Structure 1
Amino acid sequence: MSRCSSRFIRALSRTFSTKQQIVVHPDVRHALEQRQPVVALESTIITHGMPVPENVETALLVEQEVRKNGAIPATIGIIDGRITVGLTHEELVELARKPREQVIKCSRRDLPYVLTMGQSGGTTVAATMIVAHRVGIPIFATGGIGGVHREGHITLDVSADLVELGRTPVAVICSGVKSILDIPRTLEYLETQGVCVATYASEGGVFPDFYTRDSGCKVPYNLPTAEQAAQLLRAWQQLNLQSGVLIGVPIPAEYAAEKLAIDAAIKEANAEAMAQGISGKEVTPFLLAHIARLTKGRSLQANIALIRNNASVAAQIACNLAKDRSSTPVRKSSTKKPLVVGASILDLSFKITEKRQLHLDGATYSGVAKQAAGGVGRNIAEGIYKLYGDVNLISAVGTDQLGQILRQLMPKTLQKGLIADENHATSLCSVVFDQLGDCQLILGDMEVHNSITPELLTERSELFRDAPIIVMDSNISEQAMTRTLELAQRYQVPVFFEPTDMFIAGKPFKLRPELTQHIRITKPNIHELKTIVETITGQSVSWKPTTKVERGELLMQAKQLLKQIESHFNCIIATLGDHGVVLSFRSDAENDAGKLLALSPSCEHITYFYPAPKLNNIVNVSGAGDSFCAAFITALLRSHNIDECMAAGFVSAERALLSESAVPSTYFENNQEFENSLQHVFQTLKRQNI
C-alpha cells in the first residue's frame, strides 16, 4: 500500500483507545494526559449543517478560535466505521466531500449501526457528548442544541440532545436552543431532566435563541465571566451528578437577526416542511437551509459568527477549569515520544567585555565565563521536553567529573538515554563571544559522540519504532547516521535534521539516497545551506553567502540555494541571522502542516520570508536556534498550521535569547501561556512571498 494513502497515514498518525471503535488524535491524547484544556466540537456542522465550502471553512475557523484562546480543539466524527476524536484537515475535507446520502447524521441510536456497517457520519450534540465523555473531555462547543419541536406536545418530536444532557456529564456551550424549536417547552423539559441551565454574560439571565439574543425566556442563573463559569463546572464535577450543564451564550450583537424577520422566516420554513412531508432528523437541516435562502444568506453568516464565538468562550472556560488541576504539565510515559539522537556537551562560554577587536594572537582578553549544559541534540531534547512534555534522547557522555556536572545540569528524564563511555572524556565546548554577543570562536572535543554506535542504536530500536518524529544532529558519526536513517526507513518515521555546523552539515547527504529521503525537514543557517547544496548537487557554489549584506540580496542568495535542493525535502527552515527566517515547504502543507511529516515525494514548494521580531537586552544567543527547533516540532506535533509553527519557533527562541542558559529553565508557566504567546506572535507575524 502506498505511504501516501490517506488511510495508511491515518493509521500511523493516531493512537487507538482501549475502546477500539474510538481513535484519539495524538495531540488530543497528549493534552488530556497532561491535563491541558480541550474543547470537543461536533461534525454535523460539516456533514449536514452548512453547504460546501462554508462547512469546512467554518470548521477550521472554529478550531482556530479554540487554539487562539489557549485550548486544544477535538472535532469528533465517524469515518469508515471508526469514531475519530480530533479530525485532521484531510479528514474534515474527506467527510465534507462524501455524498450526503453516504453520511449519516448520528445520534446515540445510530452509533452501533454506523460502526457495524463501516459507514461515515456527522455526530450530533448527543453523540458528540457521549464520545467526549468517553475519552474524558468535559467541555463541548456547538451552535445550538436540539429541543422540543413546535407542536411537539402533539407529535412527541423531542430531540435526543435533551435526554443526553440529562444523563451524560458534559458541559455544552451554545447559543441556546435553535429558533425553529419550541423554546419554553424545551427549557421545561431540561428542568425535568435535572440539567443545570445558565446564560453567559447575559443581563437578567435572558436565554438566547440562536439567531437572536432574546428568546423571551429567562433562566435562573447567569455566569458573567469564564472564571465564574469554570467555578460552577468545578462544583458540578465534584458533585458527580452524572448530568450535563447547558450554558447559553448570546450571539454577538452585530450578527444578531431582527426577531420579527427571523420569526416570519421560521414560520414560512415550517409550513414548507409540513407541505413536503419532512420529518424526523431531516427536519432541522431542512429548516436551516430554507431559512438561509429566505434571509438571503444572512442566517448562515449569523450561524458562522455564533459558533466561532461559542468556541472562543468554551476555550476560555476550559482554560480556567484546567488551572485548578495543575499549573505544571503532568508528564506521563507515552508510547509516542519524539526521539532525539545527538550531542550532549558541557558548554564553557566566555564573553569578552573589552571593546577592542578580537585577534587570535595570543593576547589576553578580559571576559565573563559561564558554564551550562549544551549540545545541539541535548538542547533540542530539553526544549521539546519542556514544551511538548515527552521526549527520548540518545546521547553520550564520559564517566568523568565533567560528565557528572553535565548530568546534574540536565532534567532527570533526559539522563535515562545517556550512554556512559569510560574511554572518552565528556564533550567540552569552549565558546568565545564578542562584546555584542556574537560567536567568534568555538573549540570542542567531540570524540565521545562516536560512542553512539550502530549496535547501540539497534538495541534501542523500540524508541525509533514508537517515535512520531526523529531529530538527528550532525555531531554523530556517519555510521550512526546510517543506522538512524535505516531505522527511520524500517519504521517509516520522518527525520528532522539539524546541521549544527557548516563544515559537517553535508555529512548525511553523502549516504544512500534511499536513506536520506527520510530527512523531511532541516534547519540550516545560510552557511550550512551552502554546504548541503554542494553535497547534494556535487557542484561548488562559487560565491560565499553572508548575512552582512542588504536583506534583498540575502534573500536572493537564499532562494537560489533553496531552489537547487527543495525537491529533496518537505520543509527547509533557513535562518538568516537577525534578518529572520526563510521557509521553503511543499505547497500542499500550507493548510495541513502535518504533510511536512509525510514520507512521500515532495511537490512544488512555496517560499516565505519571516522577518525576525525585534528584541532588546539579549542575554545569550547559544540556544536560540535549538529552542526554535523544539517549539516548531512541538507545534507541528500538536497540529498547528505552518504560520503557527513559525510563531512558536520565534516566541521560544526569544525566551532563549533572554535566558542565561542555552535552554531556559522555564519557557512558559503552562501550556496555556505557550498557546497564548504563540497566538500573540502569530497575529503580528509578517511574511513575504519570495
Structure 2
Amino acid sequence: KMWRLSAFLRRCITSSSSRHCKKDSLFIIHPDVKEALAGHRPVVALESTIITHGMPYPHNLSTVKEVIVRAEGAVPATIGILEGRIHVGLSSDELDFLAQSKTALKVAGIPVFVTGGIGGVHRDGENALDVSADLTELGRTPIAVVSAGVKSILDIGRTLEFLVSGVCVATYGDSKSFPAFFSRQSGFTSPYHVSSPQEAADLVASTLSLGLQSGLLLAVPIPEEHAATGQQIEDAIQTAVTEASSKGVTGRDVTPFILQRVTELTEGKSLQANRALIHNNAKVGSRIACALSKHKKVKATSEVILRPKSQRTREQIVIGGINVDFIAKGTTQKLVFGEINSGSVCQSFGGVGRNIFDNINHFLFFYLYVQVSQFEDQLASASLVVLDGDIPVSTIDYVCCIAKKRAVPVWFEPTDADKACKPFLSESWKALSYTSPNLAELCTMNHTLGLPTPTEVPISLEDVLGCIPALSRPLLEHLHCVVVTLGALGVMVCGEHDADTVHLQPQKQKRKGRLCAIHYPALAVSAKETVNVSGAGDRYVNKNSCVRMGLIAARTSLLSPHPIDPSLTADAIHPEKSHSQLWSKSTCVWMED
C-alpha cells in the first residue's frame, strides 16, 4: 500500500494551482475529498484491494458500497489506479470498473487508513524470508492504519515482533488481546490498547506530532457476534496453505488463492466474517477520523494554549533535538581498558533542545514545535525563540528571517563546537539576540566570521577571562548578550553594563552603556558527587539573580541522574533563600569600544 503518497496528496489538494492537480495530472482528486480536506472535515482513506482481489465479484462491490463511512460523519476516499492515474476518491462507475478489473492496482494515503487486515511475515518466513511490504511501509510512513489485526494466514507472532521494533501497535477495545483477522484472539497481545475513538485520536495525534517517519497500527477485533469459530477457520487455512504449496502458487497470488479456498472450505462463513470486519473497521476508522478532525480544529483555533485565556501571554518556543542518554559510571577509582569494569548504567532523556524545554517547563508554559514551517504565525508572535545547534542550517535561517522581520528575540545554543558555526555561515547570526556557547564554540563562531582566534583554547582562569571579552566583542555588534559557559570555572555574561550586571532585555534604541563581561564562579561539585553532566549547561537565563539560579540549577543537575532534576522549582534554587552563603564574588572585565 503506497501510504507515503499521503503527504504528497495533501500538497496537491491544498494547492489548486499546482501542476499535480491539473486534469492531465497523474493524480485525480475527487471533488468531495478535495472539498472535505479544504474544509478540515474528516476523511477516511479506503484501500481498493478488497475490490480488486480481496473478494470475488459481486461481493467485493457490494461490500465497498455498504461501508458506512458517510453514516459516521466522514468522507470516504477509496483510492486506486485507473488508466494509469491515481484516483483519490472513486465514483460509482469507477468502483464498478475496479470490481471487474483483472489488472487493478492498489494505492492509498491520508492520515487514517482503513483496511481489512495488514500483511506480515508469512508462515515459514524465517526460511523463505517472505515479508509483506506493508510492514516496511508502516515502519517508514507516518500514518494510522486501522485493521482487524494481521491476516490469520500469516505468522502473527513474528509479524508483531517485526512491528514493535519501530511501529506503535495498539488494540482498539477493552483489552490488549491482538486480533487475528477472522478471530478476536490470536494468542498474542499488543503493547497498548485504546478504548474509545477519542483515546485513539489522541494516540494518533501525539504519535504523528513527534515527526517520526513511522506509523501506528490500531487493531480492531471483529464484532463478537460475527466472529467465526477460530478452529474451523484455522483448519481451513492450514488446508489452503498446503494446497497453495502443492499447486505452486507463489508471490502476490498466494493471498487471494488462500482467501478464496478458505471461503469455500468454510462454506462462506469466512466471507461473512470478512465483510463484517470491513464494515466494523470502517465504522471505527471513521469515528477516529472524526475525533482526530476535532482534535486538529481545536489545535488550529486555540493553538493548544496550556492556560486559561485570561492568563495567556506571549509564549517561548524551543526548537531542537531530543536524545536518549545512556550513562555508565564505574565504581572503581580507575577503569582498566580491555577488561570488564564494575559499575552502573542508567538511561535518561537528553538533547539540548529537550533539556532547555524541560528546564523552562518547571517555571513557564510554552511550546515545542517540530514542523517549524507550519508555525510562522506562532514564531512571529513569540516572546523568545530558542534554537539548538542540532537543527538544520535551513531551519535556523528560516527562523532567523522571521525573527528579524518581526523583531522576535532568538537565543542560539550551539550544542557543540562543530555545530556552533551554523547561523554564522550567512547573515542569519545578525538576527540573534542571545547565544550561550562554551569557549571552544565561541572560537568557532569567530573563526567562521573570519576573525582571529587563539591557536589553543585557554585553560587557566586568568587566560579565559582575558580571552572571552575579545571574542565576544564582535558578536555584540548585533547580539544583546553572549553567555559563555565555562564548566567548573562557572559562566561569563557579556553585554551592556547595567547596575553591576549585564542588561539582557532587547532594546530598540541604540546601546548607551559600556560593554562588559562579568564572571560568576561555579558552585563546587566533586567528581564523586557528579551523577550526570547532561543538561548542566542548558540553564543560563536572565541577569544577576537568574544567573545564580542557573548556576544552582546546573549544580542540581550534576547531582541528579536526570538532565533536569524533576524536583527543580523556582523556590528550590532561589539564591536568597538558602544558598546565599555559597557565592563567590563576581568579576567585571570592561571591553574596549
Report the TM-score, using the length of structure 2 for normalisation. Answer: 0.47
**Higher relative contact order, structure no. (Cα contacts within 8 Å, ≥ 6 residues apart):** 1
> Is the helix fraction higher in 1 or 2?
1
TM-score, normalization by structure 1 = 0.40
> Considering only CA atoms, is the larger Rg found in Structure 1 or Structure 2?
2
